[in-house]
Amino acid sequence: MDKLLIKGGVSLQGEIRIAGAKNSALPILASTLLTHETVQVCNLPHLFDITTMIELLGCMGVEPVIDEKLNVEVNSSTIKHFSAPYELVKTMRASILVLGPLLARYGEAEVALPGGCAIGSRPVNLHISALQEMGADIVVEDGYIKASVDGRLKGAHIFMDIVTVTGTENVMMAATLADGVTIIENAAREPEVVDLANCLVKMGAIISGQGSDTLTITGVQELFGCSYSVMPDRIETGTYLIAAAATRGHIKVKDTRPDILEAVLSKLEQAGADIKVGDNWIELNMHGKRPKSVSLRTAPYPAFPTDMQAQFTALNAVADGTGSITETVFENRFMHVHEMNRMGADIAVEGNTVIVKGVDTLKGAPVMATDLRASASLIIAGLVSENETIVDRIYHIDRGYECIEEKLQLLGATIRRVPS
């Protein structure tokens, strides 16, 4: 198992390109099951989770074709099985996204209960109850969700008890081929949900309300092939901007979308960053100054994203002042705090809030990543530390960041991957 070795003390400087969004790419790959025609998915990030989803399609008998630019062509007409096995699902929760498409297109699906990140309970019961409202017969036994429907799913009026991104995506995909109109209330508004809706519309689906909390989907008889390019990854964008702010640096990120990062950019400006934006780029300059502490509260989009909370904790750790960060989305998301305190941070956990008193500098130490975004925050902590930091269990980071050490090296960081 690899580790990352980081020598801190360098201000990040330079330009990098942002990859496609993992959280868009995964549902879009699952949506290829909704048609017998070929769908080409472009701008996929080179990530372990993407490989897992392609493998999952492969084990059902679909044979994705990958070209030299890493665009993937999927034609699901060769499908033989309608089952997502535990061996693959346990490594990636997003495997549940094949449930809706399989049920809508083939009338049956068997998906193992998911594994993935250890960041608290993310119930799949909302997916199940919504599909049952659309006429599916579903039982959960032997660790599998076993679903079937006689004929087509039926349009339904569905109210989501909790805002759920994958739940909204699963039901939206299922509804595209259902008989009649489906209305999803309290739907997730995340840009990645909008991206999936836009791809489905390109395939011939009839969807309105994407980006709002009420989605209306009118079922059609069939969907068609198309070519679709995945949106840029806003969390990757934010992570590099925060790393630059923490290290008092000056960077430009390209191939990104400032319009979906307003909550993050406003907090970076509060921290003292000078930010300029264009259509597809963001430039951040700290002018060599120490960041100021910020306080924030996570909530579903368009509010501050939970996936950026750990990175801001790292920035606050070396900022001037005291900041509080409140997590309202997941209940088990402060596992990076203990590791940062071992590096000399002054962070106290009080319920679902952390109070961070900025210190002048952190000290390098061996630390262990516990989930995807926590590992990103430990890398940022390593970049602002004296001495060397070794981050263990970096398979977490490989699930969500494409070539993170190469991109940081391009910005001047002293970081390399070493075998255990």
DSSP 8-state secondary structure symbol assigned to residue 179: B
- Distance CA(420)–CA(417), nearest Å, equals 10
How many CA atoms lie less than 13 Å away from 22 in the CB half-sphere? Answer: 23
327: left (phi over 0), alpha (psi -120 to 50) or beta: beta
With CA atoms as reference, report the closest residue to 340 among 378, 385, 308: 378
Q: Report which residue type is found at 218.
A: T
Q: Which DSSP string corresponds to 132-177? A: HHTT-EEEEETTEEEEE-SSS-B--EEE-SS--HHHHHHHHHHHHT
Measured over the CA atoms of residue 344, residue 346, residue 349 and residue 352, the dihedral's sign is negative
Asked if residues 339 and 382 have their Cβ atoms less than 8 Å apart, the reply is no
Are 10 and 247 within 8 A, CB to CB? yes
Q: Kindly report the backbone phi and psi dihedral angles of residue 316, in degrees, each rounded to the nearest multiple of 5, phi listed first.
A: -60, -30
Active site residue 117: yes
The residue annotated as part of the active site, out of 59, 117, 199, 403, is: 117
Phi first, then psi: give them for residue 345, nearest 5 degrees.
Answer: -75, 160
- For the residues of 236-254, what is the DSSP string, one character each? HHHHHHHHHHHTT-EEEEE
Q: Which residues are catalytic?
A: 117
